[in-house]
Amino acid sequence: MKASNARKKRDDKSRGSFKYVDYVEHVGTHLILFPGDCVLLRSEGPVAPVSVAKIKYLRSDLQMEILWFYRPEETTEGRKAFHGKQELLLSNHSDIQSLEAVEDVCKVYTLCQYMALGKCEKDINDFFSRFEYDVGAGRVSPVSHSLPLHCVCNSPYNPDLEMNFCQDCGLWIHVCCEDEHQDGINQCRTYRQKSNNR
Ligand SMILES: [Zn+2]
Ligand SMILES: [Zn+2]
C-alpha cells in the first residue's frame, strides 16, 4: 500500500521535462548527492528543529523526491521514554523539495550501528531509525512491545539511558529505574554493589 501510494505520486509528477539522474552536485555545499542519502533540510521557522529526509530520486530539474523522517513527538503515539534523543522514524510521507533546501548530508543509522558508535564518534547530525511510520494510518511499526524488552519497566532499548546488568534477575536495569528494581522482594546484586561502593 505504502509503495503504491508513493509510486502513484511519482508518476503524477513525472510528466514535466526532467530526467532522473544518478547523482547531483549540490551547488551551495559542493556535496555529491546520491539517491538513498539522508539530508538535513532547511527548517521553515527560526526555532524549528532541522528536518531530515531520505532522497528517493534526484532529478535534472534540481528537484528531489524524498521521504520524510518523523521525530517521535510528531507521530500519533508521541515520544515515549524508550525513544532516543536522536531517534527518527522513516515515514511513507513523500514529497518533492528543491535541492536548494539541502543544508548538509547526515547519517541515519540502524539502532545496532548507532550503538556501535563510540561516544566521541557521535555527531549531532547522527541519527538512528528502527521504526517506520505510516502517516495516513497513524501507525508505527513494528509495535514497540514486539522488540526485545529490558529492565523492570519492560521497555525497548534506549541508547541514551545507562543500564547495569543484574545477575540476580538476569535483566539489564536502567540506572534511573534502580529504585523500582529494589522495590521487588529480592535484594539484587546491582543494588548491593552500589551500596557497597557508597
Ligand atoms: Zn527501566
Ligand atoms: Zn535484579
Q: What is the pLDDT of residue 28?
A: 80
* Predicted local distance difference test score (pLDDT) of residue 79: 97
**Assign residue 62 a region: left if phi > 0, alpha if psi is -120 to 50, beta otherwise?**
left
Of all ligands present, the nearest one to the C-alpha of 189 is 2
CA distance 105 to 32: 9
Give the angle subtended at the CA of 86 by the CAs of 102 and 80, to the nearest 5°.
130
Helix (H, G, I), strand (E, B) or coil at 74: helix
pLDDT at residue number 154: 93
* Residue 33: per-residue pLDDT: 97
Neighbours of 94 (CB within 10 A): 22
Interval between CA 87 and ligand 2 midpoint (Å): 28
Q: How far is the CA of 168 from the centre of ligand 1 (A)?
A: 16
At 46 the pLDDT is 63
CA of 8 to the centre of ligand 2 (A): 53
Q: How far is the CA of 191 from the centre of ligand 2 (A)?
A: 8
Q: What does the block give as the cell for 110? A: 540502524
Question: Can you list the alpha helix ranges (DSSP code H) found in the chain?
Answer: 2-13, 111-116, 178-182, 189-197
Q: Which residues of the chain have pLDDT under 70?
A: 1-16, 45-48, 184-187, 189-198
**Among the bound ligands, the one closest to the CA of 170:** 2
How far does the centroid of ligand 1 lie from the alpha carbon of residue 64, in Å?
A: 41
**pTM across the whole model:** 0.82
Res 159: pLDDT: 94
Rounded to whole angstroms, the Cα distance separating 19 from 57 reads 10
Q: Which ligand is nearest to the Cα of residue 171, counting in written order?
A: 2
Q: Output the CA 156–ligand 1 centroid distance in Å.
A: 9
pLDDT of residue 123: 87
- CA pair distance 121, 41, nearest whole angstrom: 23
The ligand whose atoms approach the alpha carbon of 158 most closely is 1
Answer for the pair 101, 13: CB distance below 8 angstroms, yes or no: no
pLDDT on residue 139: 97
How far is 16 from 19, CA to CA, in rounded Å?
9
pLDDT, one tens digit per residue, over 60-83 is 999 999 999 999 999 999 999 999
* Ligand number, closest to the Cα atom of 186: 2
- Domains of the chain with CATH codes: 2-145 (2.30.30.490), 162-197 (no CATH)
